[in-house]
Structure 1
């Protein structure tokens, strides 16, 4: 998904004098006529258009910033925010080049979501990105799943295929799924992660209609199970149409009032209404008890450890089981820098004490027990036992940062982090489910570009 700017673009002769880039001005102001530069050559980049990221050093204008009549599109302050963004929508596409009589090269760029469009200073050498923009790899190659065939779309009405992972290419759009259904199978041929978000996508093609192909969000990816679902895909046979002979309806209720429902359908043959379900499984290989747990409505959890097992005990086909649930809240972690070691290096926009991070900034994992310990009855104290599970569940040792920093000479660096568990449990003794919990990390600057991929996760504050 990357193209290179041709170094041999013929744009005509340009003067070798280097003019200063216009400073930030208000939206209604234009470049002063007495100091205005002139465009001496311009050209569309065509097939040499390129994905770029703004560096935050220059504003965006309707024309090259030093040219008379140039109006502000995005101030330097706004562009700095875009440069620090963790979202692909704030990447840009460079598609046009203009050179002024001062030897300054400007590129016309548009953000992936189309919100910003205009010219930005790009240095003084044609075909070499500098100044306000730099080359951007919007995606990274990911590990292919061990299994590549036999996938289904989880829901053809909701799970979308894209011509490129959303916002990683300008004008990436949805692929028509007309004629496709839940029984169609798909083959995976590529795997990529979005560089900023770290989210995984698979490129899939329908085995019955090759024109139905595109990128789909893949969640955590295929995990080598014979029957599972992940992102917009699933593996295994698809459930048949529910009838009174093959299904059980599940109703979730809080204080006697329904708050959600689901329907489990067996994959076992020759079942009949009134017969016991026992250990039968559905097409995904999930028994009734596990299905009921997995389908619990968002924002709720079972009222007790035995609520589900009691509800499904003796369940029969054609009947309804009732599961008592309660409103639940989930706490998130605010990852915070508490101590920075930059050595003797000064990097641009480096971290400082109190800097806030998220799972998008460092490749941190959280154990299953820790994730579960973050959820409970809304307003209830989390408790020392669960706080300790969270504390223990954060991976220890050095955790790699996912963002690359530069010093004034252009040398590349990244941070490694170490969790400071000393006071986590004791400082959150009065925390309740739903509260944000602060986790402190020591950050050490390390030479070299960041190579770790962010894992995101809904356990951290974005």
Structure 2
């Protein structure tokens, strides 16, 4: 009996011991210390925020069991350093753990990242891994506020707020907006991250259409040529409508000899009553106020010219809507001129022989590069006249009379050496160059040359005291 009783005590003690061990083990596992989170609460008013890179973003508050990493600290650090508005966050909800930690539900403006981030210990304040931010800054309205056009109604969208600066920003419907509708600017803002400029504009023909549009650098009153303005989705000139068979004529430029296509453009009429198959009239114009004839002339590809005697002007008629007009052109080429110093440079200035200490000295036979000289016209238009005389049908022989004309035109420009030379006293000098033999040598040296080839010009060098900076001009035609 005693043996049996004792045995039962030991067995019972062993069972209790195991039970006790089990209890201890369970308690230790719970001590992993997962927090619990309270219910989700939507913020009464959402807040634009920036992350600072110190905390990761989780699918749940980070200390709650089952929380998964949405964006690691490394990724969040990159988002914190980003200069893109799309990487700005919007906080819209919160959960607080049983340990008093506040987590905010946040999402990037482009909706790429969404989750919870630690936001401090006080509900309603933004600390920990985030801070509040303004996504835009007010800017000054442009000097010119009226008469803007959308560059492309199908592409340049208006937004209810500058893109990616408001989580609720959306595109404004441009249904019914025409290419010739004008817009007026009433507000301007820049994005806090990129610094890019947006204008708030309203359609003058339909006041219900208004919104924010990217404006590039904005309107610059110092620029007199409106075509040089960078205005993002806006334009100071009317843009063409989308080309259709009912409103456009294609212009194909082709080589006059081979008939191979060298370029093509499309003229789109600024009217609503034309149909495919209709003949174009001399009074119809595109958005830029160009008739078809003027458009053909203005759109001619570079380095090509119309055959001699052929012109296209406002009187041109020959197009049919939905069809193609073929325009013959001839390839053009511009010859360049290579200057070579002939004879010993004249270093006498004001009847005094000047000894230069600058090395290397200029010598007979030296070839002058474009960087060695600056060229100015003696009279207005002299340079243009010169370059025009160097340009003609590619490969065409330059006749002797034409060479004589080029020589005469070279005589009408100042060819000034850009290098400075000095004497022992430190006085600055430069050379001025003129054609040898009044140009007849130029003709003799280049007889039989073709347009596009390099022409040889022998020049004399005369030393001149430098009294002011030389004026830089067009030297693109110098070999």
TM-score, normalisation: structure 1: 0.50
More helix by share: 2
Larger gyration radius, structure 1 or structure 2:
2
